[in-house]
Amino acid sequence: MGTIKLYKGKDRRIRAGHLWIFEGEIDEVREAAPGDIVDVVNHQGSFLGKAMVSGSETLKARIMARKDVPIDEAFFARALEGCLEYRRRVAPDATCYRLVNSEGDLLPGLTVDVYEDVFVLQATTYGMDIRKRMLAELVAKLLGTGKAYERDDMPVRRYEKLEPVKGFLMGEFDTRIRIRENGAVMDIDVSEGQKTGYYLDQRENRSAAAGLSAGLHVLDAFCYNGSFGVQAGIKGAASVHFMDLSEPAIEKARENARLNGIEGISRFETVNAFDELNKLAKEGARYDMVMLDPPPFTRNKEAVEGAIRGYKEINLRGIKLTRPGGYLVTSSCSQHIGMELFKEIILTAAADAGKYLQLVEARSQAKDHTRLLSMPETEYLKFLIFRVA
Ligand code: SAH
């Protein structure tokens, strides 16, 4: 068994429950090839946890357990059972959900999304990548399905020196899947959509927004495949205006609106929402509910200032477009913009627009996108519903 020995004082973060061990914290490494399981010890040699060695030199290893247990197939089987038990409890009716959320589930580097009888696996670390066949077999057994797809085409894999790959892991099937969520039916494609084909992290938030939408004229401004707008539509919205910069996304939204029988109240536009919201506001257009779910404006700390401006701009335009007594439904998935900062940004936008905002709900990612208290990095989604007064 290999060992990673930390410098004096560098055990503090790990003891507090953080899972990442950085190169600069390490005094000595013995027998630790990428993917290996090693003991992590403090400067005096006392045991801190079991870790999986990375393919990256900077983020050298990730803790898998605090106890001195073997990290073998039985360990993963137990961990996966725990993941499923939790999802059945917090999302008993969901047929599509995130079964494994990497660090959030103490399984760093492994993500598994379930869409009806198919699951999609992502391995973002070297150690999970070399174990992915075994992990897929375990998940298949647990779920009682033989349909698995691998979506390992995301750029983060390069940090672990892993090539982008995607394709069938088990079975061969139509990658276009008809999924159900909150009473809506959506067609997704796990082989090519954003994320693993769908934004599962907003499931509970869609339900919260749709629950307020009866009789309202709704704008879904970064709609992707239309999930927010469609769910508002089936909950009785008077109209839904779908907008996205991407033509394939708008095509998906159109298809999903049709599937749910709301095409008659829907409008679709392939446009840049920044420009279009401005234009609409100037023309005097107003909506009863404006939904904003832009892509992350920053993926690193350095670009936070620009992201703040982006969020302020888009929310200012959104507020201006909301009729008094209407709702602003706004999201941020930028890791480096915390909830308090996000609220402050919205507040400055509201001040510029000369409006008061009543906070209806402050939410985060769905409960199956587990958050580890000791790792703030595991919480990324901010979701706010305001009533504009
Ligand atoms: N609300 C969606 C997810 C939105 S993801 C859901 O829950 O499924 C962000 C979307 O914004 C993407 O579909 C992307 O194509 C779109 N987008 C990015 N920049 C845009 C812009 N300037 N104007 C409009 N849409 C944009």
> Residues for the chain: how many in total?
389
Pairing of strands 37-41, 382-388: unpaired
- 60-105 pLDDT, tens digit per residue, is 999 999 999 999 999 999 999 999 999 999 999 999 999 999 999 9
In this prediction the pTM is 0.96
The pLDDT value recorded for residue 321 is 98
Is ligand 1 within 6 A of the CB of residue 295? yes
Is ligand 1 within 6 A of the CB of residue 196? no
Is ligand 1 within 6 A of the CB of residue 383? no
- 168-221 pLDDT, tens digit per residue, is 999 999 999 999 999 999 999 999 978 899 999 999 999 999 999 999 999 999
Look at residue 5 and tell me whether its pLDDT is greater than 80. yes
Give 323 Cα–ligand 1 centroid separation in angstroms: 23
Give 174 Cα–ligand 1 centroid separation in angstroms: 25
Written as six digits, the tokens of 8 are 């004096």
Q: Which residues, in sequence order, are CB contacts of 186 under 8 Å at separation 6+?
A: 178, 179, 180, 198, 225, 226, 227, 230, 256, 259
The pLDDT value recorded for residue 194 is 80
Considering only CA atoms, which residue is closest to atom 21 of ligand 1? 272
The pLDDT value recorded for residue 108 is 98
SS (H, E, C) the chain: CEEEEECCCCCHHHHCCCCEEEHHHEEEEECCCCCCEEEEECCCCCEEEEEEECCCCCEEEEEEECCCCCCCHHHHHHHHHHHHHHHHHHCCCCCEEEEEEHHHHCCCCEEEEEECCEEEEEECCHHHHHCHHHHHHHHHHHHCCCEEEEEECCHHHHHHCCCCEEEEEECCCCCEEEEEECCEEEEEECCCCCCCCCCHHHHHHHHHHHCCCCCCEEEECCCCCCHHHHHHHHCCCCEEEEEECCHHHHHHHHHHHHHCCCHHHEEEEECCHHHHHHHHHHCCCCEEEEEECCCCCCCCHHHHHHHHHHHHHHHHHHHHHEEEEEEEEEEECCCCCCHHHHHHHHHHHHHHHCCCEEEEEEECCCCCCCCCCCCHHHCCCEEEEEEEC
Give 356 Cα–ligand 1 centroid separation in angstroms: 27
Look at residue 263 and tell me whether its pLDDT is greater than 90. yes
Written as six digits, the tokens of 48 are 């801190």
> How distant, in Å, are the alpha carbons of 293, 315, 320, 347, 387 from that of 352?
21, 11, 10, 9, 16
Give 12 Cα–ligand 1 centroid separation in angstroms: 40
Identify the helix (H) or strand (E) that includes residue 53: strand 47-53
Is ligand 1 within 6 A of the CB of residue 293? yes
**Atom number of ligand 1 nearest to Cα 273:** 23
Provide the annotated active-site residues: 333
Considering only CA atoms, which residue is closest to atom 10 of ligand 1? 222
For 159, counting Cβ atoms within 10 Å of its Cβ (0-12 exposed, 13-18 middle, 19+ buried), the class is: middle
Considering only CA atoms, which residue is closest to atom 1 of ligand 1? 223
Is ligand 1 within 6 A of the CB of residue 202? yes
- 72-84 pLDDT, tens digit per residue, is 999 999 999 999 9
What domains does the chain contain, in order, with CATH numbers?
2-65 (2.30.130.10), 73-176 (3.30.750.80), 199-388 (3.40.50.150)
Look at residue 385 and tell me whether its pLDDT is greater than 80. yes
Mean pLDDT of 135-151: 98
Is ligand 1 within 6 A of the CB of residue 300? no
Query: Probe ligand 1: pick from 224, 241, 313, 329, max atoms within 8 Å of CB?
Result: 224
Query: Probe ligand 1: pick from 202, 228, 242, 245, max atoms within 8 Å of CB?
Result: 245
Is ligand 1 within 6 A of the CB of residue 242? no
Give 186 Cα–ligand 1 centroid separation in angstroms: 17
Look at residue 52 and tell me whether its pLDDT is greater than 80. yes
Give 9 Cα–ligand 1 centroid separation in angstroms: 44
Mean pLDDT of 247-253: 97
DSSP type of residue 225: T
Query: pLDDT band at 352, cuts 50/70/90?
Result: very high
Mean pLDDT of 350-379: 98
